[in-house]
Every structure is written in C-alpha cells, then in structure tokens.
A and B are shown apart, each in its own frame.
Chain A
Amino acid sequence: MSIIELIFGPQHPALHEPEMFRFHVDGEKVIEAIPRIGYVHRGIEKLFEQKTHVQNIYLSERICGICNVAHTLTYVNVIERAGDIDVPPRAKYLRVIVAELNRLHSHMLLLGAVAELMGFTTLFMLIWRDREKIMDLVELITGNRVISAYNTIGGVRRDIDSDKADKIRKVLLKVEEEWKEYKKTWMEDPTITRRTMGVGILKPRDALKYCVVGPVLRGSGVKSDVRKDDPYEVYGDIPFNVVTYDTCDSWARYMVRVDEILESINIILYALDNLPQGEIRRPLVRRLPEAEAFAKTEAPRGELVYHLYSKGGFKPYRLKVRTPTFANILGATIMFKGERIADIPVILGSIDPCFACEDRHTIVDLRSGKSFMLSSREITRKFSRGSKP
C-alpha cells in the first residue's frame, strides 16, 4: 500500500486560530501527525511592551474572541498580583459569573459544532439555540455579546441589579433542564458514541508528559483544574466538582465539557445567591512597582498563563502569554497515531481548537506525485455512519 501524505489546513475564511497538520497515512491509518502552527501570530507579546497596563486590558481580550473573558481575567489577575491591588468581593463574584458564562458559551460552541461534524445536525441546532440564550445573558451583563470588556484592573466595569439576577437565574434553570436531556444523548446516542468512544486515546501518563491542560487532561482522568488547585477570585469559596473521565478517549473529553456546563450553571447560581453588596471596583491603578508575577486561570480550553515582568512605570517590561491550545496541540499528535482519516476531525475537535484547520485537506500521493483536495464536509459525509464497525 502506498504511503500518502495528507496535508490538513491551514486556511479558513471565517474562523481564527488556523493551524496545519501534515499526516503520514498508510491507507486509512494515520502513522504520524506533524503540526505546523503560527499562521496567525500577531506579535501581541511585543505589542504589550509598547502599550500601557490599561491599554493592554483591551489588547489581551483580542488574543481570543471566544474566551476573551478568560484573557482579561488572567491579565488583570497578573497586574493585581504584581501591584498588590485589592479587589472588592462583589467584583470577584461578578468576575466569576461572567467567566462561567464565557465557559458555557465556549463549550456549547464546541459541542454544537462537533455534533454537526458527526452528522447530528438536530443536536447542533438545539445546542446553538441554547448558546444564543447564554450570549444574550453576556450582553445583558456586559453590554456586548462577544468582546465584553468587562474586567478591569481593580474590579469590573458594570454592576447587576436584582432584575438582571432573576433573569439570569430563570434562563439558566431552563438551560440546565434542557442540558440534562442533551447529556443523555451524548452518553447514549450511537451517532455520538460510535464515532468517539475508543477513538484518540491519550493515557494519563502521556497527558502529563506532553503537558496538556484543561478538559483534555481531565478527559485522561487527571484531576487538575486551576479553579480548584490554584483558586483565584472566589473559586475557593464556591462548591463545585472537578469533572474527570478515565476512558481517555475523545468521548471522555467531550463528556468532561458536557458535565462542566452543568457545574458552571451551578457555580453561577451559587454566585448569584451569595453575591455580596458593595462597590464593584477600586480607583484605577496605572503604575506598577518593580515586580514579577505569574497568574493562571482555567479558561474554557484549559489553563491560561500570563507571566509578567515589570520594571516599574506604566508599561510592562515583558509579558508572556501561554494559551491552552498551544499546550494541547502536541498532545493531539499522540491521539492521532493509529487512528483513521475519518476520525481526524473528531479527535481534533476533542482538544477544542478552532475549526479553522478543518475545512481543507490536500492529499498527496507520494508515489505518483498527484495531489487532490478533500473538504472536511466531504470526509464527514463520507464517513458519517462512523468509521468503527
């Protein structure tokens, strides 16, 4: 059988985070996966050094549109650690509420898109319908559906009243009810289970060795969640479970997110019930002393890291950002080994990257030198009955 090189990615007209994989395949079987990243490297770390601490809040949330709240939250955390800035308790609770809403809509985006990828369009429609309700809640609190500009140094920018709190409660309880039904589908429906169970195995030891984070690590049975291990804001006071699954396959990684949606709803409801009164921000601090700080948070895709060096003044000397997808890409190369071409989209989806890379594949026959393209839709359609017999 001829060895074929399959090039996967990188261009997509709509989504961010494109990356390319070069797969060496023997027939249907993937022998090796080689990632190529950096297509949208925008030099933001250099730009951070040119701008002031306050301007950088808005720059940081442009690193990722989907998890923008996680980025500003980690950024303000690292600044507050470096400057020893106190945050009012009410702001901490509000930050948690918006961060969890961010997680909800991010997980729903992924699970819906993956349902569609597996040919389960009904579930995709249902999940994205619920996601719209969450987006409306984000708009209700922050004034914007996507880029929220909510967190600021020393607090948050908008408060909520009891009417808004009631509306959030009402919507979340309805979503929770529906989500329990979807969970049954994710657990039982063969459209999902036959495509994902036993596919893309990442054993716990490999997960740690390749330093994967977030739902990917928890899907390999490792109990690690920044909210629990290194509590920031008020996560230390809020009861919630760290969801882990020990089957180590794509299904486990999706199920971690399914369960996390239910956990996140409970976290928001708890935060609303225990929301303390008081101010929502301290006067803005523009200047930092000479300091070094390391902050991390649990973004929807996993641990997000900011490492700041300040020499004093209005601008950072160096600000390092490590995003969760950067950490997870290497782990994905292990998951692909020995799997089939048809399972590539499902496995790649399970690490929750952007789908940017999935829309265009070039298949090169190394013997004849011929190449042809296959869109992910064609692959999906061709194999929508499932690749496992």
Chain B
Amino acid sequence: MKSVKELFSEQEIVAERARRVYVKISKDKLRDVVKKMVELHDGQVYLSCITGVDWIDRMEVAYNIWVLPESCNYTLKVDLPRDNPEITSISDIIPGALFHECEVYDLLGIVFKGNPILKKPFILPEGMKKEFPLRKDYKI
C-alpha cells in the first residue's frame, strides 16, 4: 500500500479536490483507519482539527488529518446519533487529539470514550456545565 487513499473504498470517498479527500466511514472503522494512516508513513501525519457539526437529525465529527509525505488533507467524517453521540477516543494513537476532543465535547456534547482529560467545562466559563452552545437548539 502506497497511499492512504487506498484504505478507503470508492463508496466511502464522498468528494475529492486538489490536496483534499473527504471520506465518510463508520465509527467502528475509525480507530483502525487512523492507526493505519499513522503506521503507513511512519508517523509523518498530524491532526489539524476535529470539527463537530450538529445536523439536527444526527451529529457529525470530522477528523482533518494532514499526511505530510502525500501533501494531502484527509477529512474522515463519522455520523453519530444525536441523542447519544459517543465515539472512542483516538488520543492514544495521536496524543495531539486530546484537546481537540475536549473542545468538541465542551461545545457539542459529543463524548470521546477513553479520553483521560475529558471534562466540562473545558474552554467554556465555569458555570456552563450542561449547555452545549454549538448545538442548533441552543439559542443566544
């Protein structure tokens, strides 16, 4: 295997542009894919950011991982149910994900199981223990 792209089937790749690949995968496959991405290029990858989106009928987490030898950004999108958004943490594979996961949990309430420092509030003020301001039903 030479390219990270080969890890994904044609159905999983939802869009492709210059130096950008968007893929949609199941949450069970995520950890396996991230592990393979790191191993394939001997750790020459870093996590740019984790974006959480509230689509009202579901939640989406998008892991943006930059692969240095390929000069390409892979956006790994995972859909989660909105009433119980839970996914296993990747912070043991990429420790840099620790803060990104905390931020998404704090703002959207997506739980990253296995993240040792996951707490609320993380960046929000002390009093905001139950609010998730980036959810669409949160009014300002």
Contact = CB atoms under 8 A, between A and B. Distances in A.
Interface of A: 37-38, 41, 43, 45-46, 50, 81, 205, 208-213, 217, 222, 224, 229-230, 292, 294, 296, 303, 305, 307, 309, 317-318, 320, 322, 326-327, 329-331
Nearest to A207: B46
A229 B22 CA distance: 18
A213 B45 CA distance: 11
Task: Please give me the 5 A-B residue pairs with the lowest Cβ-Cβ distance, nearest first.
Answer: A211-B96, A38-B123, A322-B49, A320-B51, A211-B46
Contacts of B53: 309, 317-318
A307 B68 contact: no
B43 A294 contact: no
Contacts of B123: 37-38, 41
A331 B95 CA distance: 10
Interface size, B (range): 35 or more
Interface in B92-106: 94-100, 103
Interface of B: 15, 17, 19-20, 22, 43-49, 51-54, 62, 64, 66, 68, 71, 73, 75, 94-100, 103, 107, 121-125, 133-134, 138, 140
Nearest to A205: B43
B75 A294 contact: yes
Contacts of B95: 209-210, 330
Contact of A213 (B46, B64, B125): B46
B96 A294 contact: no
Given A41-B125, A292-B22, 8 more contacts: A50-B140, A208-B43, A211-B97, A230-B71, A305-B48, A307-B49, A307-B51, A326-B103
A235 B22 CA distance: 24
Contacts of B122: 37-38
Main DSSP-derived SS at the A contact region: mixed
Nearest to B75: A294
Most buried by A among B22, B96, B123, B140: B96
A384 B48 CA distance: 37
A329 B123 CA distance: 14
A49 to B, nearest CB: 8
Contacts of B94: 209, 211
A320 B96 contact: no
B51 A229 contact: no
A230 B19 contact: yes
A50 to B, nearest CB: 7
Contacts of B15: 292
7 contacts: A45-B107, A50-B140, A205-B43, A209-B94, A296-B73, A318-B51, A330-B96
Contacts of A208: 43-46
A81 B75 CA distance: 16
B61 to A, nearest CB: 11
Nearest to B138: A46
Contacts of A305: 48-49, 64
A294 B19 CA distance: 10
Contacts of B98: 330
Contacts of A212: 46, 96
Query: Which among B47, B75, B124 has the highest number of chain A CB atoms within 10 Å?
Result: B47
A50 B136 CA distance: 11
A202 B3 CA distance: 28
B47 A211 contact: yes
B27 to A, nearest CB: 19
Contacts of A317: 53
Contacts of B97: 211
Contacts of B44: 208
A204 to B, nearest CB: 9
Given A37-B123, A38-B121, A41-B123, A46 B19 contact: no
Contacts of A50: 140
Contacts of A320: 49, 51-52
Given A205-B43, A230-B71, A46 B49 contact: no
A368 B44 CA distance: 47
A14 B138 CA distance: 32
A205 to B, nearest CB: 6
A209 B124 CA distance: 26
Nearest to A222: B68
A45 B48 contact: no
Given A229-B71, A230-B19, A209 B49 contact: no
A46 B43 contact: no
A41 B97 CA distance: 19
B51 A209 contact: no
A294 B73 CA distance: 9
Contacts of A81: 17
B140 A46 contact: yes
B100 to A, nearest CB: 8
Given A45-B107, A208-B44, A329-B99, A307 B124 contact: no
